[in-house]
Amino acid sequence: MALRLGDVAPDFTQDSSEGKIQFYEWAGKNWVVLFSHPADFTPVCTTELGETARLKPEFEKRGAKVIALSVDTVENHKGWIPDINETQGTRVNFPILADHDHKVSLLYDLIHPNSLANATVRSVFIIDPEKKVRATITYPASTGRNFNEILRVIDSLQLTDNHKVATPVNWRDGDDVVIVPALKDEEEIKRRFPNGYKAVRPYLRLTPQPNKEAREVAHTR
Ligand code: BEZ
């Protein structure tokens, strides 16, 4: 059965471009972005893996490690990486799992036979330090993902965990956020949001992003 939000991400041991990986040990106490791509030596995948390498410092800032996966072999990955480096002007700096026996693909439901019979689709799993699946995204093979969106989702999840806020439509870092509906206690609200909040409706309470420079809200309660 497909993994759902809140499920525990399964552990596994598998070969990779950086040697054998025991997933939980490799992940440690970090957030993890595990993403599958259809095949080595394909154009969209080449751009995606190059972009992931370029963004690695951004993942690190968020305490997140990245790991890619396809059903190709270690030898194929090792043959392809120099192409990614050369064509994308980067250095692949994260492991690519070689799921030749489909072990991980089966655990994470990465092969969708009505889409691609024998290759993984473009799925992303954002996994928290407790190994819980916190977000899943699946794209077709022909659509390259927006890795800035993946960073944005991690930011949103971490804001919710750390500050009890959710992020509204098209939210970007620094925009106002919304106080989670479950938070009702006025004392806690005052303590958490010293700059106040604007109640557009009782259930829609906007406040400046808590981990940014303090600034006043126009119509505070
Ligand atoms: C690609 O990565 O370019 C690709 C892979 C499979 C199908 C279509 C595109």
Ligand 1 contact via 50 beta carbon (within 6 Å): no
**DSSP E strands: which ranges in the chain?**
13-14, 21-22, 31-36, 64-70, 96-98, 122-127, 133-139, 165-166, 177-179, 198-201, 204-207
* For residues 11-34, average pLDDT: 98
Of all atoms in ligand 1, which is nearest to the CA of residue 119? Answer: 6
Percent of the chain with pLDDT over 70: 96
Q: What is the pLDDT of residues 49-77, one digit of tens each?
A: 999 999 999 999 999 999 999 999 999 99
Clarify whether 45 is annotated catalytic.
Answer: yes
Domain edges within the chain = 13-145, 163-207
163-207: CATH superfamily: Antioxidant, Horf6; Chain A, domain2 (3.30.1020.10)
Q: Residue 212: which pLDDT band, with cuts at 50, 70 and 90?
A: confident
Catalytic residue among 27, 32, 45, 165: 45
Ligand 1 contact via 157 beta carbon (within 6 Å): no
* For residues 102-114, average pLDDT: 97
**Model pLDDT, residue 1:** 74
Structure-token match 């951004």, residue found: 58
Query: Which of 142, 143, 145 to mutate to test ligand 1, by most ligand atoms within 8 A of the CB atom?
Result: 142
- Closest residue CA from atom 6 of ligand 1: 141
pTM of this structure: 0.95
Q: What is the pLDDT of residues 140-156, one digit of tens each?
A: 999 999 999 999 999 99
**Model pLDDT, residue 217:** 58
Average pLDDT of the chain to the nearest whole number: 95
Measured distance CA(41)–CA(186) in Å, rounded: 56
- Which architecture does CATH list for 13-145? 3-Layer(aba) Sandwich (3.40)
**Model pLDDT, residue 36:** 98
